[in-house]
Amino acid sequence: RQWEQVACTNDVNHGLSYIVRAVVQIRSAAKACPEPRACSMNIFDIIASIAWITEFLALMASDCPENWWKKSADAVCVGTIADFVAAATNMVGASESVGFTCISHEDAHKHKRAR
């Protein structure tokens, strides 16, 4: 039971932190959307955060009940699927971010002059 209490606490902490993260990302997306690439990155990050919120809420349904017969295998399944969706959408956002944020200073200067 101690392990389940730790897992439950972890699920609650992560679920709440991803709610805050999604709110911050939504605000960032609203500011960045005139720049199509930044807007796209933010949208994928928001989708990933919402999927992670779903995962941790589902895992709370599995990890937090005290009695084993109240635990739901469906909740674990939902958590697993949500984790897959979150990881896949996060990969897209991160891939877009690499090209956008890891450009060298010289390349950025050349890019601005070429416009």
Mean pLDDT, the chain, rounded, equals 83
The predicted pLDDT at position 108 comes to 52
Residue scoring higher pLDDT (84 or 103): 84
The predicted pLDDT at position 21 comes to 93
Sequence-distant (6+) residues with CB within 8 A of 70 are none
pLDDT at 16 exceeding the cut of 90: yes
Question: Predicted confidence band at 115 (pLDDT cuts at 50, 70, 90)?
Answer: very low
Q: What's the pLDDT tens digit per position in 43-77? A: 899 999 999 999 999 999 888 887 766 677 888 89
